[in-house]
Amino acid sequence: MRIVIAGGHGQIALRLERLLSARGDEVAGIIRRAEQGDDLRAAGAEPVLCDLESASVEEVAAHLQGADAAVFAAGAGPGSGADRKQTVDKGAAILFADAAERAGVRRHVVVSSMGADPAHPGDDVFDAYLRAKGEADEYVRGRAGLDWTILRPGSLIDDAGTGLVRLEASTGRGMIPRDDVAAILAELVDTPATTGLTLEAISGSTPISVAVKSVAGN
């Protein structure tokens, strides 16, 4: 498969690139800064320079041509203000979905956040983030040209992955290593039977491949 990842230099994306390239997939990661390219190459991915905050749908669609799947893993990141939650966590997600649809890339996996909700109350930056992610998720769900799956991990940690998770429509709060989030994404990309599902993920007791098969109805 050829898989294009938005936010290719993110902590989850770099882990995902390593997993996908190791299993023989062709991986491209969209990045904003050329100096990030070496990290992607080290992970086995082709760096694609494109700023999702300023690019047109046509530009992004050109980068998606010929892909078998697209993964949105971009984020404004900690330390960014409410404005960039709108331009990246919402705006770039919408742009990427539109571009995937235009390029005919149906399989579309989104890294969202537990608690994402367009109606989330509050005035803190994190409240704005959860609203932006919720609005983006809602938009993706409305795209008839996409076979989408939305993954909402719990609190992300840098502990080594265990390969054991709880993956359900609603899990309740919990933590999960970024390693395991990347491993779930790698399975989801390969499992179109999860199309139309919004899933929460935290650490648990079920092997990742079994958890994905279970939610897919297998």
Return the sign of the alpha-carbon dihedral for residues 56, 91, 41, 147: negative
CATH of residue 31's domain is: 3.40.50.720
What does the pLDDT read at residue 76? 84
Domain that holds residue 141: 2-216
The token duo for 152 is 């909402």
pLDDT tens digits, 169-182? 999 999 999 999 99
What does the pLDDT read at residue 70? 98
pLDDT tens digits, 5-51? 999 999 999 999 999 999 999 999 999 999 999 999 999 999 999 99
- Amino acid identity for residue 211 in this structure: A
What does the pLDDT read at residue 87? 94
pLDDT tens digits, 119-139? 999 999 999 999 999 999 999
Tell me which residue of 100, 41, 45, 21 sits closest to 68, measured CA to CA. Answer: 100
Helices then strands, each counted (H, E), the chain: 8, 11
CA 209 – CA 8 distance, rounded (Å): 24
CA 6 – CA 50 distance, rounded (Å): 9
Three state DSSP letters for 31-94: ECCHHHHHHHHHCCCEEEECCCCCCCHHHHHHHHCCCCEEEECCCCCCCCCHHHHHHHHHHHHH
CA 210 – CA 56 distance, rounded (Å): 39
> Is residue 77 scored above 90 in pLDDT?
no
Count structural domains, the chain.
1
- Amino acid identity for residue 212 in this structure: V
Q: Which of 72, 96, 129, 148 is catalytic?
A: 129
Instruction: Reply yes or no on whether 129 is catalytic.
Output: yes
pTM, full prediction: 0.96
CA gyration radius for the chain?
A: 16
State percent of the chain over pLDDT 70: 100
